[in-house]
Amino acid sequence: MIDPVWLDPNTAEAEARRSGRDLWKAQLRLTFGKYANQSFKWLLENDVGWVVWLLAEFHLKGEKSDCLKLQKERLLEFANEFEVVRCALD
């Protein structure tokens, strides 16, 4: 079960900033899909292919849900810090 703190963009970002400091985006947690409740850091360490697929789909189709849109935007910002992901998305 997903902790409700991660379901609200404001509380999720506040918790991630509190626990992750400068690396706060790595602490954000996905709230949907097969990797729900995993941190962004975990996603990039364990299934970068899925992250690339998810972000490519987001780029092509967008997102209607404001909460999911914010999560995907933050994941994209975080993933772009890593050359392997950035190259795959280009």
The rounded distance, in Å, linking the Cα atoms of 85 and 62 is 19
Q: Is the pLDDT of residue 17 over 90?
A: no
Q: What residue ranges do the domains of the chain occupy?
A: 4-89
- Tell me the whole-structure pTM to 2 decimals: 0.81
- Average pLDDT score, the chain: 89
- Kindly report, residue by residue over 47-82, the tens digit of the pLDDT: 999 999 999 999 999 999 988 999 999 999 999 988
Q: Is pLDDT larger for residue 88 or for residue 63?
A: 63
- CA 33 to chain centroid: 12
